[in-house]
Structure 1
């Protein structure tokens, strides 16, 4: 067996399927996208090489910076609102037993198994200024003014609320798995020493959850950067471009405005931002660990 796995032909044959998938599904599209980012290709017909013109336009594109700002706001919402609540919920679920624990775990995860289209249209009805749930509640409380959550000035916060709510189940489930992997002996020892619930959380649960937190935060930042479907179905980036995110703006430029070259320049910037964010988060967690 050792001789078999030391044979270069065998090693290559085992690696070949994964390499083929990586080259055709990831590496080749990135290379093509980088190339088209230097052209004025419209998606149809011929194209010409224009150098860095798309990237110069990108630097001065106010909508691109709005999309990036919205992605950063969503990242902050995930990290500062969704994740603390998800971790606390996971800790509370861990203390439940039997069917009750499984029931609540399923309830919190239900939004993640519902179609994105259903989620978007459900919240459209909730936000409807004429007959939506929010409007009815406000009128029942005596508010007679007009409120349009998806209108100018309000839309970005309404979209952020939907996205934070929709992704809660995944974050909670990952933290729940991390809590379940902590040795119960640690908690028993802390209880014998007289540690309170808050001290147990801050001195045992949080330190031992560091790898899980790192993975979850990194995934949250990347997810915030690549938000597309929910935003597109909920507001299509409107009103104006108030709720544009990087992925939705890329789609708009490439497939609606027929600026395929410019859309690919946005995609290259998008990949670069994702890589920088991932490296920065990994270094941050490494420094915190040291």
Structure 2
């Protein structure tokens, strides 16, 4: 076996398929996006090199900045609302055990299995101002049941609720898997020492879940930036671009307005933001791990002295 893996042809045959997939599915499209971002290509016919004109125009594009602001709001919603709830639910499911654990795990994940088109039209009916479920519930409690939830001012918050709800299952499942990988003997030792569930969660579960939290938070921010299908089917960025998101605006510019070069410039900015966010989050979590290591080292030295 060692001779087999030391053979350069064998190594090449194992690495080449993955490398080709990376080059043609990821690297080549990114390079083409960078190239077209410097052109006035409409998607049809020839294109002309225009330098940084698309990027200068992008910096003055208020709709683009609105889309970034909405993506930031969604990222905050994911990090501050969806993920804390997902982590708590995952911890509760882990303690639940039995058939109930499997049942509720499936229930929470059901929205992620349903088609995005079905989800969007389902929530359109829920938000309908005339016969929607939400307004009918408000009427039952004596309130005004004629609210248009997808109108200017309310639409962005309504869309954020749908997106946070729809992505809840993935976050919960990742946290649930992370908790399941924690050594159960740690919880047994804590129980023997008299630690309650809150102390166990704060002192054992959370510290050991840091790598999982880092991955989940990074994926949440990137997911917030690339939201497109649900937004497109629910509001298509309206009314008045109030629910516009970066990926949906890219699609509109590239394939509806036939500004393919401009759309690719948006895509390049999108890639840069994703890379910067990933590097920043990795730095933040790395600094916290280093601080924790230093504190543990100091505590050990004090204990020895």
Measured against aligned partners, the alpha-carbon deviations of 1:225-250 in whole angstroms (never above 9, x if no partner) come to 10010010000010010111110000
Q: Deviations over 1:10-30 (max 9, x none)?
A: 222221111111111111111
Question: What secondary structure, in the 3-state scheme, does the structure 2 residue paired with 1:121 have?
Answer: helix
Q: Which runs of structure 2 are paired with 1:86-125 in the superposition (5 Å)?
A: 86-125=86-125
RMSD: 1.0
Matches within 5 A, 1:207-286: 207-286=207-286
1:130-158 deviations in whole A, cap 9, x for unaligned?
A: 11011111222222363111100000000
Give the Å deviation of 1:8.
2.3
Match of 1:131 in 2: 131
Question: How is 1:136-215 mapped onto 2 (pairs within 5 angstroms)?
Answer: 136-144=136-144, 146-215=146-215
User: Which consecutive residues of structure 1, in runs of 5 or more, have no partner in the other structure?
Assistant: none
Tell me how far 1:96 sits from its aligned partner.
1.2
Q: TM-score, normalised by structure 2?
A: 0.93
Q: How does 1:48-59 map to 2 (within 5 A)?
A: 48-59=48-59
TM-superposed deviation, 1:3: 2.9
Q: Which moved more, 1:1-10 or 1:39-48?
A: 1-10
Q: Which residue of 2 aligns with 1:33?
A: 33
Q: Give the TM-score normalised by the residue count of structure 1.
A: 0.98
Shift of 1:175: 0.5
The residue number in structure 1 matching 2:67 is 67
Q: 1:237 and 1:129 mapped to 2: Cα distance?
A: 19
Q: Which has the higher mean CA deviation after the structures are superposed, 135-144 or 83-92?
A: 135-144
- Partners of 1:269 and 1:123 lie apart in 2 by 31
Aligned pair count?
290
CA contact (8 A) 2:135 2:145 kept: no
- State the alpha-carbon separation in 1 of the partners of residues 143 and 193 from structure 2: 54
Give the distance between the partners of 1:106 and 1:9, measured in 2 at CA: 45
